[in-house]
Amino acid sequence: METIDNTMNKEYTEASDKALMSWSRVVKTINKYDNQTVYEVRFDPKLYNLRFESGWDQDYYYKDQNAPIVKAIKETKIALENALIFTKSDDTFQDYNEMDSYADYPRYGAGTLYRFNDEAIAHVFVSNVTKRLND
């Protein structure tokens, strides 16, 4: 599967949003905080069975921990760790050195953003998750 190149698109433009919301695809982009090339992956937020709740100053959302996408991602992380593709991080906030994960912006559907420095590992992650979802 090809990587979608989003490096030439300005943030928050129609072209950039379209690329970033290419579910189950690897998107090459520039990290605005350190100006480095990164590879981002998002899965369709509908797969998470999100539940929104209004909060004090923002909306909170909760993922269904029993959703098939959550299970597929957990299984993939374990498999990639066992295959020594993922290595445990010493960072308190991140599980692995090869991948960062963040609660995604509501603009992009409020799912989870997975960010990689290595394109090949991003593709291995996506293909493993989608295979587990389709099994």
- Count of alpha carbons within 13 Å of 36, Cβ hemisphere only? 9
Dihedral over Cα of 6, 7, 9, 10: its sign: positive
Per-residue pLDDT of the chain (135 residues; tens, 9 = 90+): 799 999 998 888 899 999 999 999 999 999 878 889 999 999 999 999 888 777 655 567 788 999 999 999 999 999 999 998 998 888 777 778 889 998 888 788 878 999 999 999 999 999 999 999 998
Q: Which pLDDT belongs to residue 47?
A: 94
pLDDT computed for residue 91 by the predictor: 75
Strand pairing class (25-30; 37-42): antiparallel
Q: What is the pLDDT of residue 1?
A: 78
Determine the pLDDT at residue 59.
63
The pLDDT score that the predictor gives to residue 61 is: 77
Residue 43 is part of which domain span? 4-134
Q: In this predicted structure, what is the pLDDT of residue 107? A: 80
Question: 48 exposed, middle or buried (CB, 10 Å; 0-12, 13-18, 19+)?
Answer: buried
φ/ψ (deg, to 5) at 129: -65, -45
Rounded CA gap, 69 and 31, in Å?
26
Tokens 């098939």: give the residue: 68
Give me the number of domains the chain comprises: 1
Query: The whole model's pTM is what?
Result: 0.87
